[in-house]
Amino acid sequence: MSQMDTQRYKAQERAGFNRIAAAYADGAPLRARLADALVDAAGLAPGQQVLDLASGPALLAAAAARRVAPGGLVLATDIAEGMMAEGRRRIAGSARPAFAVADAEQLGLADGRFDRVLAGLALFLFPQPDKALKEVRRVLRPGGRFVLSVWGARDRVPLIGCALDGIARGLPPPKVARPSVCRYGELGALEATLSQAGFDDIRLQPCEFDCRFDDADAYWQAFLGLAGGAAEALSRVPAEGLAKVRAATADALETYRDADGGYRLSTLTLIASARRPA
């Protein structure tokens, strides 16, 4: 992406995630198994200092904060201030994260500050992931670990793939170029990216979870509650165009219809843990 495209992309993502902040938080039960697996993989312990990148409404950060209490700290950061505000509203109690609006590609935090950096379903959203990974490595202490999740291969992620198919069939290509959200799901892509960014002791594990929807409308609302930039773009689509997208999405869902008349989608994600060399 050119610099101008990068700025437009970030602006659209920020606006979109501000738009869906409450819906994203409400949809957390769909992703609960993944969130639990990521926190487990982080090996958190009381007293640790943790940064959660692209934290959204900070639900992952809140779970981490409970693990590092007493004496620890979790800082939740996101480019979308509405997401941070949603997290502040929802999370209570003594073991809660701190919040800061920040761009993952330019954090403005001290070197070697954190024992762990977390990023749940986020790396693929960054238009310049090399910059984000450089920042992650910088703010980790030597020997600290970066623990993240990404979507799996495109054909294994119907939770978003059906809607993306519907959008591709119903609308012309977007004016603001978007990186593929499944770009780290292909074999070896995530490990190679982390290795090239200077991390070692890279550990990968799959995490598959099922989602069930009673009808195509329930699926569509769940997708909108996940896809910030896409949700923002779709909000500007005329009703006729949106109807085409919804119809094409419903067609794509038919592959996943279950015996009860709804849709059951098994979705693959990858969890990675990588160390900043000592």
State the DSSP code for 93.
S
pLDDT reading at 102 higher than 50 = yes
Q: What is the pLDDT of residues 107-152, one digit of tens each?
A: 999 999 999 999 999 999 999 999 999 999 999 999 999 999 999 9
Buried b (16+ CB within 10 A) or exposed e, 129-157: beebbebbbebbeeebbbbbbbbbebebb
Sign of CA dihedral 21, 55, 236, 254: negative
Cα–Cα distance for residue pair 60/45, rounded to 1 Å: 15
Edge-to-edge strand order for the sheet containing 49-52?
Answer: 98-101, 73-78, 49-52, 114-120, 140-151, 263-275, 200-213
Phi-psi region of 112 (alpha: psi -120 to 50; beta: other; left: phi over 0): left
Helix H or strand E encompassing 251: helix 239-253
**pLDDT exceeds 60 at position 259:** yes
Helices (H), 20-157: 21-26, 32-41, 59-68, 81-90, 129-139
Given a cut of 80, whether residue 28 has pLDDT beyond it is: yes
Would you tell me how many other CB atoms lie within 10 Å of the CB of residue 239? Answer: 7
Pick from 139, 112, 143, 178: nearest CA to 52: 139
Question: pTM of the prediction?
Answer: 0.94
Q: Two tokens at 162? A: 């059906």
- Between CA 180 and CA 131, with CA 13 as vertex, the angle to 5 degrees is 65
For residue 186, name the pLDDT band (cuts at 50, 70, 90).
confident
Q: CB neighbours of 214 closer than 8 A, spacing ≥ 6? A: 261, 262
